[in-house]
Amino acid sequence: MGQIKDILRTMEYGPAPESNSDVKNWLEINAKGFGHFINGKFTPVEGRKTFSVSNPANETVLAKVAQGTAEDVDAAVKAARGAFGKWSKLPGHERAKYLYAIARHIQKRERFFSVLETMDNGKPLRETRDIDIPLVARHFYHHAGWAEMVETEFEGYSPVGVCGQVIPWNFPLLMLAWKIAPALAAGNTVVLKPAELTPLTAIAFAEVCHEIGLPAGVVNIVHGDGETGALICGHDDIDKVAFTGSTEVGRIIREQIAGSEKKLSLELGGKSPFIVFEDADLDGAVEGVVDAIWFNQGEVCCAGSRILVQEGIAERFYNKLRKRMETLRVGDPLDKTMDIGALVSAGQLKRVSALVEQGKAEGGTLWQAKVELPAKGSYFAPGFFTDVEPASTVCEVEIFGPVATASTFRTPDEAIALANNTKYGLAASIWSENINLALDMAARVKAGVVWINSTNLLDAGAGFGGYRESGFGREGGREGLYEYLSADWEKRLPPVKAEPALKLSAAPDGDAKVAGTGAIDRTVKNYVGGKQARPDGGYSYSALGKGGQVIGQAGLGNRKDIRNAVEAAAKAGAWGAATAHNRAQVLYYIGENLSARQAEFEALLVESTGVSTKAAAEEFAAALRRIFYYAAQSDKYDGAVHATKSRHVTLAMNEPWGVMGIVCPDEMPLLSFVSLVLPAIAMGNRVITVPSTRHPLLAANLYQVLDTSDVPGGVVNIVTGERDVLARTLADHDEVDALWYFGSKEGSAMAEKASCGNLKATWVSNGRQRDWLSTGQGQGREYLRRAVQVKNIWVPYGE
């Protein structure tokens, strides 16, 4: 023991390995391989195709796991469907007991899960022990609570059905918890596929499900690669798809299930800004970087991977970062003194290395920790780039490794421009001691999660999810539960009544039946940026009224009209920044001015749609009430403060999407237009509306009303023409943030499919008919919820 004398001089840490003998025993017992968990049982592996799972820290094989086939997926979905009826009808309290038991059991086996996760994924034990597994337990506890309350807290909503869930390898068990906990709480059953690189904690989780006596079929776990994932997402009997992973795969899923009426939530990639102002606590911010990009080997979708520093302090900050890198420890993830373990696989190491090499080749300067990496295993030394600009590959592409980029800005305005200069919008971290500045940045950054003077804070009670191509839908909190619930009324809608196909002709028609002569000719133009605009193509089509008579012409809008309208809408951003009270005033004024023209609108409804005067009056009255309803909601449909950590305010703010496309149906052309456009603009969106193709003349009268109601130019834009042609252009348009499509089933499928370009959020009618007159179906909070995205802003406090 002469060594102690030497250690007294060097004061090194020495090895501190966590024992993994229990996990090794478990793996040994299961050496023949792990099957799927279907209908409460593990499927046999003998004679089945398997793949091997290895420990990226030392390249040893840990287990063999069955590769899911179409039959396996079928069996799992069938089991989930079979279990759904009973599970969904259980009293919430009964489901709560199961979720509570899961939380308890995870806690009771926390170290087993931590060690297994570390061996499977390569992340340091410090993280699985202190972060992953405690968050998993917290997620199930939190959702045990929702299970208890879901019936009363979400009246009018019910579970979606069978959920297909595909999760990534960076937080294997935590992502499982984020998927399964809310699904089960709401009364759904699930078929989940873990990532093929990291399936082991999901298997142990299945054993916990067995242990607590969860009814068979409620949770099914099928293993495999992307093909298996595609089989689950594409399965006919799946009602909801939830995916966390790359934007690339998210896009494929969006396309794959377009038109299937499946509910979809996507949590995708990111390139999140980490903004450091000159008045920030720089040492604190340096530790923020450690917790951001040097956390989980940088394999974090919400990692603050783009460091933006105010120019005057940049060198000082970089010096501090370089200094801090010297004490980072990289190595055996089971060693309790390691900050950084191994990347998840050799493949990932190759990908990260290639991107970093490209960064250097493009002129970036790489500052990397001088650490000795273990000879074996997928290790990568942490670092950051300087001398990189937005145009550099490494600033654009998600590296998904422990390497950040660092560049400078001069002013808050420039900071926000750079921060938002990305196709992603998952998270942002803002460092400043000036609360005015920090909150201003938080409001202006396009990101679903904003951390002020902090980073990577997660809690089951707060929503997590992205803007833009980082996906849509939220996980956690009240907002997350909606992803696993459907409005009852929306579930039971009948198909739209078939109407004779409409052929729009731009040519004059010599045979047309023409309505009364003698009146002054009426022309409907488009309405763009607050002005009437002739259709770009110079074509119009005839609108037919009762009995097929021509009652006027409307512009036959084309791509360019949509382009112009989107441009106008994009410029009208001030609308979203106006006070909710201001917007309410404008909405009320629309009601006031519409009311003044009651007779004219009712007559036009009769003339256009052929309804009785009584029906027209009813529609008009409903439209007025609806306007008042959304005017009222403008300043009342607001956010929440989530109870997350102590001494934190976690604000869940409802933010408008920005630019929305709204494609209106033919039925009740006035009421449906108002029912769709008003909630959107009440929440601060600017819209491009395609009014009923069949009854376009109302649009002209409507824009006259808008014109006189102080609606700022560009907030409501109207382009008439062929529904699906214009919808397609809107769906394709990358500047359009969300699209509501109300039309045919085919059109709905087309709109969803085409929306995958920028992964805009969609709400489509799937060719179903809702009763616009009913306040239950034609208006309500569901419309408002669809008109916003929730931004969670974490504001820690304390001097």
Partner 1 sequence: MNTQHTKVPDGTEIKLAHSHARNAGTKLRPEWFEDIAVNRSATERRAATLTTRRTVKKEYQAAWLVKAITCIDLTTLAGDDTAGRVRRLCAKARRPIRDDILEALGLADENITTGAVCVYPTMVPHAVKALHGSGIPVASVATGFPAGLTPLPQRLAEIHYAVGEGAAEIDIVITREHVLTQNWQALYDEIVQMRQACGDAHLKAILATGDLNTLRNVYRASMVAMQAGADFIKTSTGKEEVNATLPVSLVMLRALRDYGELSGQTVGFKPAGGMKTAKDAMNWLILMKEELGLPWLQPDLFRLGASSMLADIERQLEHYVTGRYAASSRHALA
Closest CA to 374 of 348, 404, 338: 338
Q: How far is the CB of 431 from partner 1 (least distance, A)?
A: 8
* Side-chain half-sphere CA neighbours of 223 within 13 A: 31
Q: How far is the CB of 351 from partner 1 (least distance, A)?
A: 27
Does the protein bind partner 1 through residue 192 (CB under 8 A)? no
Of the candidate residues 405, 453, 486, 675, the single one contacting partner 1 (CB under 8 A): 453
Of the candidate residues 151, 237, 287, 592, the single one contacting partner 1 (CB under 8 A): 287
Does the protein bind partner 1 through residue 19 (CB under 8 A)? no
Nearer to partner 1, 20 or 453 (CB): 453
- Going through 194-351 in order, the beta strands assigned E by DSSP cover 219-221, 240-244, 263-267, 272-276, 304-310
Catalytic residues: 267, 301
Does the protein bind partner 1 through residue 776 (CB under 8 A)? no
Of the candidate residues 106, 282, 496, 719, the single one contacting partner 1 (CB under 8 A): 282
Site string for partner 1, 592-631 (x = CB under 8 A): ----------------------------------------
- Please name every residue paired with 429 in a beta bridge, in sequence order, or none if there are none: 274, 451
Of the candidate residues 128, 297, 454, 748, the single one contacting partner 1 (CB under 8 A): 454
- Report CA dihedral (254, 255, 257, 262) to the nearest 10 degrees: 40
Site string for partner 1, 416-445 (x = CB under 8 A): -----------------x------------
How many of the other CB atoms lie within 10 Å of CB of 519? 8
Does the protein bind partner 1 through residue 110 (CB under 8 A)? no
How many of the other CB atoms lie within 10 Å of CB of 774? 12
Does the protein bind partner 1 through residue 764 (CB under 8 A)? no
For partner 1, which stretch binds (CB under 8 A), given 59-67, 215-223, 278-286, 761-769? Answer: 278-286
Does the protein bind partner 1 through residue 327 (CB under 8 A)? yes
Question: Please, what is the angle between helix 580-595 and helix 697-707, to 10°?
Answer: 120
Q: How far is the CB of 793 from partner 1 (least distance, A)?
A: 14
Task: Give the Cα separation of 555 and 578 in Å (integer).
Answer: 32
Does the protein bind partner 1 through residue 2 (CB under 8 A)? yes
Site string for partner 1, 332-371 (x = CB under 8 A): ----xx-x--------------------------------
Q: Which helix (H) or strand (E) holds 166?
A: strand 162-166
Does the protein bind partner 1 through residue 518 (CB under 8 A)? no
Nearer to partner 1, 288 or 721 (CB): 288
Closest CA to 574 of 566, 564, 582: 582
Nearer to partner 1, 650 or 717 (CB): 650
Closest CA to 183 of 152, 216, 213, 146: 146
DSSP state, 334? T
Interactions with partner 1, residue window 640-669 (CB under 8 A)? 647-648
Q: Take residue 198 and report the two structure tokens written for it.
A: 């990291």
How many of the other CB atoms lie within 10 Å of CB of 357? 11
Does the protein bind partner 1 through residue 465 (CB under 8 A)? no
Closest CA to 245 of 235, 232, 236: 232
Nearer to partner 1, 98 or 431 (CB): 431
Does the protein bind partner 1 through residue 7 (CB under 8 A)? yes
For partner 1, which stretch binds (CB under 8 A), given 11-19, 34-42, 70-78, 217-225? Answer: 11-19
Does the protein bind partner 1 through residue 126 (CB under 8 A)? yes
Contact 268, 301 (CB under 8 A): yes
Does the protein bind partner 1 through residue 283 (CB under 8 A)? yes
Of the candidate residues 74, 110, 207, 281, the single one contacting partner 1 (CB under 8 A): 281
**Over 81-149, what HEC string results?**
HHHHHHHHHCCHHHHHHHHHHHHHHHHHCHHHHHHHHHHHHCCCHHHHHHHHHHHHHHHHHHHHHHHHH
Nearer to partner 1, 57 or 286 (CB): 286
Q: How far is the CB of 336 from partner 1 (least distance, A)?
A: 5
Site string for partner 1, 160-189 (x = CB under 8 A): ------------------------------
**653 Cβ contact list (under 8 Å, min separation 6):** 639, 790, 791, 792, 793
Contact 535, 526 (CB under 8 A): yes
Does the protein bind partner 1 through residue 21 (CB under 8 A)? no
Of the candidate residues 5, 370, 497, 503, the single one contacting partner 1 (CB under 8 A): 5
Does the protein bind partner 1 through residue 280 (CB under 8 A)? yes
Does the protein bind partner 1 through residue 1 (CB under 8 A)? yes
Contact 190, 184 (CB under 8 A): yes
User: Contacts with partner 1: how many residues (CB under 8 A)?
Assistant: 39
Distance of CA 413 to the CA centre of its chain: 26
Closest CA to 525 of 516, 535, 536, 517: 535
| C-alpha dihedral sign at 540, 541, 546, 547 | positive
Does the protein bind partner 1 through residue 130 (CB under 8 A)? yes
Q: How far is the CB of 568 from partner 1 (least distance, A)?
A: 43
Closest CA to 116 of 222, 209, 27: 27
- Interface residue list for partner 1 (CB under 8 A): 1-5, 7-8, 10-16, 126, 130, 279-285, 287-288, 291, 327, 336-337, 339, 433, 453-454, 647-648, 796-799
